[in-house]
């Protein structure tokens, strides 16, 4: 039975995961790390800003104090936020607007569940801000995915039981978070082959049978 769908943001609703990668790569280069790759970036998917920073710092022998780490995370965020300036609805991934309309026409509630503290600004710039019944993001949480906190807060804001929520995720950490939280998990994009997910699809455009799959 599904009553709500909770969407991850970066890499599920919008293409911003590429902008995260560019900003982290630039920070890495400033630290003298030349080999920061897409494989490293894959381990940053879904996790918090500070956890993502640790993935970069693993690639250098240098040690940083907590204060220095905060300053590095802020520096990356400044670069990332600058790259969001030109963001508009063309950054919304294929099939997203139609899928949200389909869910709304079928009285299924919608929410965002993202680690990103930039969620509100991204939703606004991409014309997605008024498309969801609730938003839960890095500004609401204490714990990073794979902890289920961000999705449980989304379910609570919607007033729907976790067992009646489907999470759509492109990260392994997010799929684990959904399952630990007692929700269904749909893997898309980069997470397509994750075995813990209930179903996998290459893109949201292929999800128009979601109600038949999970029942209502």
Q: Which active-site residues does the annotation give?
A: 8, 10
Q: Does 190 bind Mg ion (CB under 5 A)?
A: no
The mark string for 4-23 relative to Mg ion (x by CB under 5 A, - otherwise) is: ----x-xx------------
Q: Which is nearer to ligand BG6, 44 or 180 (CB)?
A: 44
H or E, element range at 98: helix 96-105
CA distance 31 to 9: 28
Question: Binds 178, which of Mg ion, ligand BG6, none (CB < 5 to 8 A, cut-off by type)?
Answer: none
Q: How far is the CB of 164 from ligand BG6 (least distance, A)?
A: 24
Q: DSSP per residue over 163-208, as a string?
A: GGEEEEESSHHHHHHHHHTT-EEEEEGGGTT-TTSSEEESSGGG-T
The string over 147-169, giving b where at least 16 C-beta atoms fall within 10 Å of a residue's C-beta and e elsewhere, is bbbbbbbbbebbebebebbbbbb
- Within 120-139, the residues that bind ligand BG6 by CB under 6 A are 138
Binding segment for ligand BG6 (CB under 6 A), chosen from 42-50, 123-131, 179-187, 192-200, is: 42-50
CA distance 90 to 70: 32
Q: Does 114 bind ligand BG6 (CB under 6 A)?
A: yes
Q: Does 170 bind Mg ion (CB under 5 A)?
A: yes
* Residue of the chain from 2, 10, 126, 165 that contacts ligand BG6 (CB under 6 A): 10
Q: CA of 215: how far to CAs of 112, 175, 184, in Å?
A: 21, 20, 12
* Residue of the chain from 19, 27, 52, 92 that contacts ligand BG6 (CB under 6 A): 52
Interface positions with ligand BG6 (CB under 6 A): 9-10, 17, 20, 44-49, 52, 77, 114-118, 138
């Amino acid at each position: 039975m599904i009553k709500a769908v909770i969407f991850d943001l970066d890499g599920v609703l919008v293409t911003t995961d590429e902008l995260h990668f560019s900003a982290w790569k630039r920070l890495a280069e400033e630290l003298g790390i030349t080999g920061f790759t897409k494989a490293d970036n894959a381990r940053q998917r879904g996790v918090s800003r500070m956890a993502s920073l640790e993935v970069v710092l693993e690639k250098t022998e240098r040690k940083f104090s907590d204060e220095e780490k905060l300053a590095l995370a802020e520096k990356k965020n400044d670069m990332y936020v600058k790259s969001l300036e030109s963001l508009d609805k063309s950054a919304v991934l294929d099939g997203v607007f139609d899928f949200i309309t389909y869910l709304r026409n079928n009285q299924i509630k919608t929410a965002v569940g993202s680690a990103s503290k930039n969620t509100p600004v991204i939703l606004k710039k991409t014309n997605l801000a008024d498309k969801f019944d609730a938003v839960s993001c890095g500004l609401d949480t204490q714990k990073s995915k794979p902890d289920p906190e961000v999705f449980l807060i989304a379910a609570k804001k919607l007033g729907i039981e976790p067992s009646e929520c489907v999470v759509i995720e492109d990260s392994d950490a997010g799929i684990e978070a959904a399952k630990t939280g007692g929700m269904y998990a749909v893997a898309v994009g980069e997470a397509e082959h994750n075995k813990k997910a209930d179903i996998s699809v290459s893109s949201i455009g292929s999800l128009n049978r979601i109600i038949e799959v999970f029942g209502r």
